[in-house]
Structure 1
């Protein structure tokens, strides 16, 4: 398999992981406000609301949660945070909500929603 084929296969797996995360989040009471949102700061995989908690969720499919955590660079973490803040600034209905950046990991062993995954390093 050449590089282009591997990339295309990974892209399809990534999209499947996003749909799995989306379904699981809906089933666990999250209101989906956006899916694959394009912003000037970057793409938000999933934007959810649960109570007063607004979550920018990055979805990763990896072998382990640790691999997924390390796959999100400090630059990407910052862009996700900035994208959430800018959305709040543009949408008055979101302005008073508590903003969080989460990681949703799909592994062979299951699903894991890591809340505030990057709180120590944004």
Structure 2
């Protein structure tokens, strides 16, 4: 059987990412977070989810892989730096969020498992 073309693989990955982000957003909402943004684009890059809980503004990176360990390993230093720059640009553009504390979380998504939420996964 022939391998799917690059375009088909890209579309499948995009759709899998959307499903993982939706699952992560629902998981966070069940834990009391309010989702204020999905796939938020800034000049520094895209932020998967932005949530608020109390006085905390949370920038969430969602990683989906075949297993939780693989998802955890997929978040490197360069990606964390990009997310921190994107978060700074977002807050600078929206003064209403500047009074809140900021935190960076990760949600790891794997098939047939509940998402794993890691609050305060790294410091800015």
Q: Structures share a fold, TM > 0.5? A: yes
Alpha-carbon distance in structure 1 between the residues aligned to 2:12 and 2:93: 36
User: Are residue 115 (structure 1) and residue 119 (structure 2) matched?
Assistant: yes
Gaps of 5+ in 1: none
Larger radius of gyration: 2
> In the alignment, which residue of structure 1 is the partner of 2:4?
2
Give the aligned CA root-mean-square deviation in angstroms: 1.6
Q: Secondary structure in 2 aligned to 1:104?
A: strand
1:13-92 to 2 correspondence within 5 Å? 13-92=16-95
Mapped partners of 2:5, 2:80: distance in 1: 27
Aligned 8 A contact 1:85 1:99 in 2: no
**Alignment gaps of 5+ in structure 2:** none
Q: 2 CA distance for matches of 1:28 and 1:40?
A: 30
Q: CA deviation at 1:18?
A: 0.8
Distance in 2 of aligned mates of 1:3 and 1:116: 38
Could you tell me how far apart the structure 2 residues matched to 1:73 and 1:33 are?
25
1:14-43 Cα offsets, whole Å, 9 max, x none, are: 111111111222222111111111111110
Number of aligned residues: 120
C-alpha separation between the residues in 1 aligned to 2:35 and 2:118? Answer: 17
Counterparts of 1:59 and 1:29, CA distance in 2: 18
Distance of 2:5 and 2:69 partners within structure 1: 25
Deviation of 1:69 (Å): 2.4
Q: Distance in 2 between matches of 1:27 and 1:63?
A: 24
Normalised TM-score (structure 1): 0.87
